[in-house]
Structure 1
């Protein structure tokens, strides 16, 4: 049966009744006995609060302390992903290699440092760079210009990004908790479908991932992943190559033991495309708070959808109608929306009026 923690008022009342019963007399409202009872009741309430805190730390939940989740996750082999900077190739026109540690900058001041340089080939020099800062803002689209901070003889000072990615902020506690619970419910099996999901989500910035067994026939495994922190959530060419290498063979973040896809299995990246659904909604009353609450609910529902799933109209309506401040609403969506295996539902533009 559930145990209800008494309130301070209840503890005071029960304690006062015990004191009067023990002394066998009705005590005045103000006196030493009243002060002692209040002090003891407050101390007992503190003990109840401390016990409640302990209970919330035993099993990791959204009510647990952040450090508790981090510590328990570590013991289960789920290591919190730290902030990282973007990496990737940059190409320059030139006839000589670019020294390692050469710095280049983007137009907004972001700086990147050369980690390796290939030999010139056909008048082009390709270098691998890493951002000097961390976070998703260090990612850079392909074709963006980078300028060398110092002159390199025989090399043009302007280079073109080949797509720099991998930059991400420190993993949110909510995502770490999701990965911890996923690990507890799906122990490592050396190459099962859920292992590919776990491996994908170990990579910096990856927030959601999926795996499909026998994706293209026997001995094949399809996998897909997205970066919800980015404006464009779908992986770049650099992201896909990095994930291919990671799934093939990598060190387990907790043990350092090399793990990866089993021999004889072909792992295939599923090139996802967006299945975008725009919505027109009219709320009654139409307030900023209601709009924000509805948008948060809609985003939360969309985040539960996987490739090939169906966007259920009833659940969209529930996401809107369950907001306490919304008395009524009108919605232009009037049917479920299906998607193909390679399509992922994406919430498009939300217009707060019915056309």
Structure 2
């Protein structure tokens, strides 16, 4: 049974126990147990199978009664009861821009624009050239991070617009997030068991921030911009870029403000500054596979230790390198001194140099 002192009997143990009980109560010869076609043997096997099924269902219930071990379907129930639903995927939104466009050109709403990898976007409002620039708002047709597009990436019209070249460029297309990871969601539900909302306590702001898609970590700072103000710094758990984009920060600000105490002062939601740390490592064996394993472990270490007002210890970095698959020995050339992360910052892994 899940997390209990009770041990679930196996099917052979149940058959043996029931067979012995039947033969004993019938005052029958226990040597008959060796005969597979006796009534006692048939009864024992049928009843043991039924009891074993009941034990299985009880085990299933015991595992799902609390959220820490619950299956996904049951976790949905726990989340709903704690008002902690799973965060859905969101679509990226932003603009596509054409420089040097002729005056008077208009793109209507509902026009499809594609990236070169065939991810499609739809214009959400009409736009007309202004001072040689045509900038039209778009939303990705698919939800998830796949819609997030770096500035300057080519975006092409699927149908021609008179007087306009087919290729524009992405302009602040961001805010797309994937469906919340199951274990991250489980962690938020368990937090609700530990922390009861307290009308504006520090933990309340952290809980509210984590309810926004694209945010998995948050920190609260009292009197951030004056007495009575609250600063909420938000981040995600991406191992490469843990700093959320402007769209996510704005969504968090809009979500938290109505929840904050009416008597409170202003709430400031902001992304942390990146404290980039470069790593110089002498590795043995120095192969591409081992390098990738080391990079993954160092990034995971940074997620754990690179928190605001935290300290990156060289010994902790070496520990992360040592547990990388395939690593036999190494020398951490740099950093060799403690690296302090300031308030308002989080650690971000920079470049790796291999010797």
Query: 2:51 is matched with which residue?
Result: 44
Query: 1:30 is matched with which residue?
Result: 35
Deviation at 1:66, TM superposition (A): 0.5
In the alignment, the residues of structure 2 paired with residue 297 and residue 4 of structure 1 have an alpha-carbon distance, to the nearest angstrom, of 37
Normalising by the residue count of structure 2, what TM-score does the alignment of the two structures yield?
0.78
In the alignment, the residues of structure 1 paired with residue 6 and residue 171 of structure 2 have an alpha-carbon distance, to the nearest angstrom, of 60
Query: 1:345 is matched with which residue?
Result: 347
Normalising by the residue count of structure 1, what TM-score does the alignment of the two structures yield?
0.78
Query: 2:64 is matched with which residue?
Result: 57
Q: Does 1:271 align with 2:272?
A: yes
Inter-CA distance 11–140: structure 2 relative to 1 (3 Å threshold): same
Q: Residues 9-65 of structure 1, C-alpha deviation per residue, up to 9 Å, x if partnerless?
A: 43333334323432253223123223432332232222112101101111111x311
Query: 2:96 is matched with which residue?
Result: 90
Query: 1:220 is matched with which residue?
Result: 229
Question: Following superposition of structure 1 onto structure 2, how do residues 217-296 of structure 1 map, counting pairs within 5 Å?
Answer: 217-229=226-238, 232-249=241-258, 259-260=259-260, 262=262, 264-276=265-277, 278=279, 280=281
Deviation at 1:277, TM superposition (A): 5.4
Task: Give ranges in structure 2 of 5+ residues lacking alignment.
Answer: none
Deviation at 1:173, TM superposition (A): 1.2
Q: Does 1:73 align with 2:73?
A: no
Query: 1:304 is matched with which residue?
Result: 304
In the alignment, the residues of structure 2 paired with residue 279 and residue 176 of structure 1 have an alpha-carbon distance, to the nearest angstrom, of 36
Q: Residues 263-284 of structure 1, C-alpha deviation per residue, up to 9 Å, x if partnerless?
A: 5224141432044353748689
User: Which secondary structure does the structure 1 equivalent of 2:94 belong to?
Assistant: strand
In the alignment, the residues of structure 2 paired with residue 350 and residue 21 of structure 1 have an alpha-carbon distance, to the nearest angstrom, of 74
Inter-CA distance 113–94: structure 2 relative to 1 (3 Å threshold): farther
User: Which secondary structure does the structure 2 equivalent of 1:132 belong to?
Assistant: strand
In angstroms, what is the RMSD of aligned CA positions?
A: 3.7
Task: Give ranges in structure 1 of 5+ residues lacking alignment.
Answer: 250-258
Query: 1:113 is matched with which residue?
Result: 122
Inter-CA distance 178–317: structure 2 relative to 1 (3 Å threshold): same
In the alignment, the residues of structure 2 paired with residue 41 and residue 340 of structure 1 have an alpha-carbon distance, to the nearest angstrom, of 63
Inter-CA distance 322–104: structure 2 relative to 1 (3 Å threshold): closer
In the alignment, the residues of structure 2 paired with residue 49 and residue 335 of structure 1 have an alpha-carbon distance, to the nearest angstrom, of 55
In the alignment, the residues of structure 2 paired with residue 331 and residue 13 of structure 1 have an alpha-carbon distance, to the nearest angstrom, of 60
Inter-CA distance 320–49: structure 2 relative to 1 (3 Å threshold): farther
In the alignment, the residues of structure 1 paired with residue 15 and residue 338 of structure 2 have an alpha-carbon distance, to the nearest angstrom, of 56
When Rg is computed on C-alpha atoms for both structures, the one with the higher figure is 2
Q: Does 1:166 align with 2:172?
A: no
Q: Does 1:176 align with 2:177?
A: no
